[in-house]
């Protein structure tokens, strides 16, 4: 599933269309991505409108058009945004294509866990208002982090980091990377951590977000081998810090990679 930096990368893929007017909208009306808004409603709202700007927050994106139209997108597990020529003939997985004079903005999702939302109004829609601070933002402070740990003190840390209401945009690989860099076991619970390890996790959270935006968000760059990222996918992978074998467990229903040599339970 696309995470914080991947979502930012995909958001920018539609930037070539900014300032242009929608000439036509092509959809696969029965696609599951239209479960929150019908394809017909989206076509009616978007056609004839100018594409003004875009935003990303966590795993969500919002695109603003003229006439107070707001288009919301969630990529789900396999969705992606791309561009094509205005003469596009959408293939079976291109469920939404917004045609502009010089480019087509395409939302593809072969698994159809993503979704599309539409809103027309003076202010941002309810699904975009009052979103929590993102981990990479200055508003996400050490104090806020401590309050989250206190409120959810018995939740395994890996599962807690995946809570979008608290850590918007953090997904499976980022959560593993954060705990690995902090040298904290993924099943450890906040109530069992010393202040030293709480601070380590916070610092690691900020560091991983910064690194992801620096390496992945601009052009889908490849993370270096010094990260856990490149080793977590291999069942024979070795920890790049200890040189010893990695292990995989299930935490909160998600496959979790960690290094037993350096990530110990308190």
CATH number for 172: 1.10.8.50
Does position 27 have pLDDT exceeding 90, yes or no? yes
Asked whether residue 190 is domain-assigned, the answer is yes
Question: Range of 233's domain?
Answer: 142-258
CATH number for 36: 3.20.190.10
Average pLDDT of the chain?
Answer: 97
Give the tens place of pLDDT for each residue, 121-152.
Answer: 999 999 999 899 999 999 999 999 999 999 99
DSSP label of 50: B
User: Is residue 98 located within the same domain as residue 35?
Assistant: yes
Specify the number of domains making up the chain.
2
Q: What's CA 41's distance to the chain center, in Å?
A: 26
Does position 109 have pLDDT exceeding 90, yes or no? yes
Q: What is the dihedral of CA 217, 219, 225, 229, to 10 degrees?
A: 40
Q: Is 183 exposed, middle or buried (0-12, 13-18, 19+ CB in 10 A)?
A: middle
Which is nearest to 10 in space by CA: 48, 55, 51? 55
Asked whether residue 127 is domain-assigned, the answer is no
119: left (phi over 0), alpha (psi -120 to 50) or beta: beta
* Per-residue confidence band for 234, with pLDDT thresholds at 50, 70 and 90: confident
User: Is residue 185 located within the same domain as residue 254?
Assistant: yes
Give the tens place of pLDDT for each residue, 169-226.
Answer: 999 999 999 999 999 999 999 999 999 999 999 999 999 999 999 999 999 999 999 9
Give the tens place of pLDDT for each residue, 28-57.
Answer: 999 999 999 999 999 999 999 999 999 999
pLDDT attached to residue 235:
85
Give the tens place of pLDDT for each residue, 78-92.
Answer: 999 999 999 999 999
Give the tens place of pLDDT for each residue, 67-78.
Answer: 999 999 999 999
Instruction: Please count the other Cβ atoms lying within 10 Å of the Cβ belonging to residue 211.
Output: 18
pTM: 0.95
Asked which of 88, 120, 152 is the last residue of a domain, the reply is 120
Asked whether residue 266 is domain-assigned, the answer is no
């Amino acid at each position: 599933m696309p995470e914080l930096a991947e979502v930012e990368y995909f958001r920018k893929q539609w930037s070539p269309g900014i300032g242009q007017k929608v000439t036509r909208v092509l959809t696969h009306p029965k696609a599951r991505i239209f479960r929150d808004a019908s394809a017909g409603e989206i076509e009616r709202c978007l056609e004839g409108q100018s594409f003004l700007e875009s935003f990303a927050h966590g795993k969500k994106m919002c695109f603003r058009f003229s006439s107070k139209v707001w288009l919301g997108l969630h990529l789900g597990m396999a969705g992606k945004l791309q561009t094509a020529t205005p003469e596009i003939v959408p293939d079976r997985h291109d469920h939404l294509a917004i045609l502009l004079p010089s480019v087509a903005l395409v939302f593809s999702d072969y698994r159809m866990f993503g979704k599309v939302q539409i809103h027309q109004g003076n202010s941002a829609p309810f699904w975009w208002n009052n979103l929590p601070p993102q981990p990479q933002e200055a508003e996400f402070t050490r104090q806020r982090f401590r309050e989250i740990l206190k409120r959810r003190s018995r939740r395994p840390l890996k599962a807690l980091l995946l809570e979008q209401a608290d850590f918007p945009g953090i997904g499976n690989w980022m959560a593993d990377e954060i705990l690995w860099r902090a040298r904290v076991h993924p099943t450890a619970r906040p109530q069992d951590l010393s202040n030293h390890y709480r601070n380590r996790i916070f610092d690691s959270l900020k560091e991983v977000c910064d690194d992801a935006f620096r390496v992945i968000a601009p052009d889908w760059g490849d993370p270096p081998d010094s990260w856990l990222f490149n080793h977590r996918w291999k069942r024979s992978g070795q920890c790049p810090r200890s040189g010893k074998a990695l292990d995989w467990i299930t935490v909160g229903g998600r496959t979790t990679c960690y290094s037993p040599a350096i990530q110990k339970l308190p």
